[in-house]
């Protein structure tokens, strides 16, 4: 009897291991590890605090639908690198904040807090085009020193890559995400001044600086 | 008895190895047929001087295709020849150095848009540092247009093998627009259309006869660009 029970136990164990192996075979893990160049251009005359939350720094998109394989896409490190690099070059002075909204350093014109709203992707077999495509949407929040909202705007980013020169689905998707993140950086850099509230803030700061300059010249 | 058996084995081995060698050589040296047609529209002659550079960039704004990075890399590497007076800046290096102004979303689509870009002093300085004289924008792609035939492979007690015949057509369609960056004008356009058919007969072992369509389009375009960019006296060197 004991032998029989042991036999059944062994069969159950091997079935579970085989099942786990089969499930793991359908799960894809992508870790995006991009390094991004600093933008070329004049910085805005602002002192800005940048707060990247833990959720943002460790952002992982997980998807497990019936009509698709399971995907776990970790973009946290890459988007942290991107936002730190781009925002770090965009302003006269940038301070990376470890916490928000408490213990803010004095003299900040603005605090910027990005947040991932959405990530979507399509595979070549879904679109019947030989291209991997990725869309990322960010909600951008700008606050003043007192924690009041100054502006809110949305950044949409798009990236694609052909399959021809890439080896695996994971590598192709990581490449498309890197292209999308570069696009996010480009939109953040070129679109910042187009947000009316921020445009007004920059104009006010420039006016104040020029008046100060005129005063000191006199 | 034994020595005869040994000789028989050696004979079979030698025959097998020589057949394998022949197939390998056949595969290496044979390829499908490709035709390449290059067209040129020239508005001004090339004026590359010592210290001038050329940038070759791929257009990536289209939604249903992407100019392949390996094609751009191939044209750049084939064209790069400092001793002949052509210095090409690699695409990735240039796009990174001028981030974010040459990304798919922000890249200038028309030569007139360069004015806005040159209003940024840092961009102007970076371009001068690289000595950019020409920006070449390549737009297009290589696609498989049709395929036919089938190959079946099987494994049995007697061994494994494939039998059948497959064929597919590829077509490349690229256009290069040459911008004279300093004079801010379109110098000309070069188009490369290539098509070819690849074959794959399989008698035990599949033997691919690949038509290198994209590679031939790249070489044709690079040769034409070299002729285009160099002043007439330098081109004859």
CB atoms within 10 A of CB A77: 15
Q: With 80 as the cut, is the pLDDT of residue A90 above it?
A: yes
B183 touches chain A (CB under 8 A): no
Contact B68 A190 (CB under 8 A): no
Contact B103 A186 (CB under 8 A): yes
- Set of chain A residues whose Cβ sits within 8 Å of the Cβ of B103: 182-183, 186
Environment class of B169 (CB within 10 Å of its CB; exposed 0-12, middle 13-18, buried 19+): middle
3-state secondary structure of A217: helix
- Set of chain B residues whose Cβ sits within 8 Å of the Cβ of A40: 97-99, 101, 120, 122-123, 126
Q: With 60 as the cut, is the pLDDT of residue A4 above it?
A: no
Residue pair A191/A155 in contact by the 8 Å Cβ criterion: yes
B106 touches chain A (CB under 8 A): yes
Range with lowest mean pLDDT among A14-28, A54-68, B185-199: A14-28
Which tens digit of pLDDT belongs to each residue from A58-79? 999 998 888 888 999 999 999 9
Give the predicted TM-score (pTM) of the model: 0.82
Phi, psi dihedral angles at B105 (to 5 degrees): -80, -30
Distance (Å) from the alpha carbon of B13 to chain A's nearest alpha carbon: 36
Residue pair A159/A185 in contact by the 8 Å Cβ criterion: no
B163 touches chain A (CB under 8 A): no
- Set of chain A residues whose Cβ sits within 8 Å of the Cβ of B120: 40-42
Which tens digit of pLDDT belongs to each residue from A144-192? 998 999 999 999 999 998 876 667 889 999 999 999 999 999 999 999 9
Residue pair B111/B186 in contact by the 8 Å Cβ criterion: yes
Q: Which of A41, A129, A165 lies nearest to residue B68, judging by beta carbons?
A: A165
- pLDDT bin (cut points 50, 70, 90) of residue B23 is low
Return the DSSP state at B86: B
The pLDDT of residue A10: 56
């Amino acid at each position: 009897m004991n032998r029989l029970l042991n036999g059944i136990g062994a069969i159950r164990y091997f079935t579970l291991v085989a099942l786990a192996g089969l499930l793991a075979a359908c799960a894809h893990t992508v870790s995006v590890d991009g390094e991004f160049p600093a933008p070329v251009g004049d910085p805005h005359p602002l002192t800005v605090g940048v707060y990247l939350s833990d959720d943002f720094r460790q952002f992982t998109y997980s998807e497990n639908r019936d009509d698709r394989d399971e995907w776990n896409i970790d973009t946290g490190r890459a988007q942290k690198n991107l936002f730190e690099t781009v925002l770090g070059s965009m302003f006269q002075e940038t301070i990376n904040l470890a916490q928000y909204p408490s213990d803010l350093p004095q003299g900040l014109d603005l605090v910027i807090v990005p947040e991932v709203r959405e990530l979507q992707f399509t595979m070549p077999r879904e679109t019947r085009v030989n291209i991997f495509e990725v869309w990322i949407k960010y909600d951008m929040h700008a606050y003043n020193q007192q924690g009041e909202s100054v502006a809110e705007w949305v950044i949409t980013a798009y990236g694609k890559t052909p399959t021809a020169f890439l080896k695996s689905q994971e590598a192709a998707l990581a490449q498309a995400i890197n292209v999308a993140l570069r696009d996010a950086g480009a939109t953040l850099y070129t679109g910042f001044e187009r947000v009316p509230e921020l445009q007004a803030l920059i104009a006010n700061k420039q006016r104040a600086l020029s008046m100060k300059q005129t005063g000191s010249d006199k | 008895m034994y020595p005869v058996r040994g000789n028989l084995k050696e004979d079979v081995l030698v025959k097998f190895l020589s057949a394998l060698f022949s197939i390998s050589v056949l595969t290496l040296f044979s390829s499908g047929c490709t035709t390449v047609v290059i067209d040129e529209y020239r508005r001004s002659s090339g004026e590359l001087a010592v210290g001038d550079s050329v940038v070759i960039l791929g257009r990536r704004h289209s939604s249903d295709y992407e100019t392949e990075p390996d094609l751009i890399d191939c044209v750049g590497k084939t064209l790069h020849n400092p001793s002949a007076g052509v210095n090409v800046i690699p695409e990735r290096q240039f796009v990174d150095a001028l981030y974010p102004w040459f990304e798919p979303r922000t890249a200038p689509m028309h030569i007139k848009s360069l004015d806005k870009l040159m209003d940024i002093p840092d961009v102007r300085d970076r371009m001068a540092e690289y000595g950019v004289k020409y920006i070449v924008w390549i737009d297009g792609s290589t696609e498989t247009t049709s395929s036919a035939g089938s190959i079946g492979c099987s494994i049995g007690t007697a061994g494994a093998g494939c039998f059948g015949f497959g064929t597919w057509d590829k077509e490349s369609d690229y256009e290069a627009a040459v911008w004279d960056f300093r004079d801010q004008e379109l110098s000309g356009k070069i188009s490369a259309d290539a098509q070819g058919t690849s074959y794959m007969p399989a008698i035990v072992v599949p033997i691919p006869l690949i038509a290198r369509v994209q590679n031939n389009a790249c070489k044709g375009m690079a040769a034409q660009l070299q002729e285009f960019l160099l002043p007439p006296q330098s081109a004859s060197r």
